[in-house]
Structure formats: structure tokens, C-alpha cells
Amino acid sequence: MSKIGMIFECGPEGADLKVCKYLAEYLRDDVEVVPVTLDNKANLLRDAGKTAKQLLVDGCCCVLIIWDLRPAWPDKKNKPCRTAECQAVLQGVADAGVTTGHLVHLICIEQELESWLLTNERAISELLSTSAHPYQVSRIKRPDRVMQPKAVMVEHFKTRGWRYDDKVDAIRVLRAADIDVQRMRRSESFSRFEQKLVAC
């Protein structure tokens, strides 16, 4: 069993942790995910390096640092920059003295975790359909270009008269139908997640 560390910007019950752990165990049957949650992006950008080092010391064969490009509370004046955020994380990794860069991988989800969920319209349809009221979802060819994927998911649920709670419903969407990895690869950030996970 391979221990793979994963560092998240969410809390212990966060959607990112639940979804990534579920996907990791689906993609690899020999993996034990060791998660660390740092609560928000500022903490992740500051502390991911030293956290990654500790996970490696504790026996993880590699570490994935995972965060959303779009912040939970967007700043309309200062748009997030993936390059700048990656540089900040890499600097933290270097400052922590982790010299084996191939053991630490950065996964910046563009834009939000829901980008991955939108790749599988069949799962969303399955979750939101009832026997009396089927719900159809159109295919999104380039989910990473949807600027507010969480808002799209909120609207799907709202159409059915339900409230979308990512901590509960993101994993429910994923479990609603068989995972279609080929479709999920329409998201470049998911593809990177899959590649780095499999390579560990």
C-alpha cells in the first residue's frame, strides 16, 4: 500500500478532500491517502512546503498539494494568478528544505473543484432526476473555462428546488453514476491530478 500525502486549503470535512480521496482510491487500489487540511488558501500558500516535508518524513512516497484557483471569496480587484500561487508554494517547498521536487506535485484546480464535477453531466442528471421528473444536463466540453463552476452547480440544484452544499453534495455527484475518467480528462487540472497520482 502506497501512502500519498494530500494537502488541501479546506477544512477536515471539505469537499476537496472528500472528492480527491474518493478519486484517488478509484484510480489506484493500492493507495492510502494521508490528508492534511490547512483551512484556507493563505495558509496553504504559506505552510504547504513545511507540511509536505513532514508528510514525506512520516513515510509518504509523494505529496500532492491541491487548491482551487478561484478563491471562496473572490477579490474583484486582484484576480488570482496560478503562476504566482505556484511560485509561492514552490518557494515554501524549497524553504522547507525539500530538494527532491519529483516527490511534491502542485495541482491548481482551474477554476474550482466543481470544474471536475461538470465534466460528467450524466452524474449530475442522475443525482437530480426523479422517476417523475428527469433532469437533463448539457455537456460542457471545456469545463476549466467555466469561470464560476460552483455557481453553475448551485443553479442546477436551485432549478430542482434544492440547495447545493459542496461539503455534502460534491461527493454525492461523484457517486451518482459510474466515474467516466475519459470525460473527466476534459479538465486539464483533473488530468494532471490523475497523472501525478498514478506516477507516485
pLDDT in tens, 32-41: 999 999 999 9
Domain 2-112+187-199 = CATH 3.40.50.960: yes
Q: Assign 79 a pLDDT band (cuts: 50, 70, 90).
A: confident
Q: Establish how many alpha carbons lie within 13 A of residue 9's alpha carbon, considering only the half-sphere containing its beta carbon.
A: 22
* Sign (positive or negative) of CA dihedral 42, 46, 47, 49: positive
Mean pLDDT of 166-182: 96
pTM over 0.75: yes
Counting residues of the chain whose pLDDT is more than 90, the rounded percentage is 86
Q: Does residue 23 register a pLDDT over 60?
A: yes
For the chain, which residues make up each domain, given as ranges?
Answer: 2-112+187-199, 115-175
Q: Establish how many alpha carbons lie within 13 A of residue 66's alpha carbon, considering only the half-sphere containing its beta carbon.
A: 31
Determine the pLDDT at residue 80.
83
Q: Assign 75 a pLDDT band (cuts: 50, 70, 90).
A: low
Determine the pLDDT at residue 102.
78
Determine the pLDDT at residue 77.
65
Q: What is the pLDDT of residues 83-115, one digit of tens each?
A: 999 999 999 999 999 976 679 999 999 899 999
Determine the pLDDT at residue 70.
83
Determine the pLDDT at residue 164.
98
Please give the mean pLDDT across all residues of the chain: 93
Helix (H), strand (E), coil (C) string for 98-135? CCCHHHEEEEEECCCCHHHHCCCHHHHHHHHCCCCCCC
Beta bridge partners of 95: none
Determine the pLDDT at residue 92.
94
Residue 57 dihedral angles phi and psi, to the nearest 5°: -60, -35
Q: What is the pLDDT of residues 116-153, one digit of tens each?
A: 999 999 999 999 999 898 999 999 999 999 999 999 99
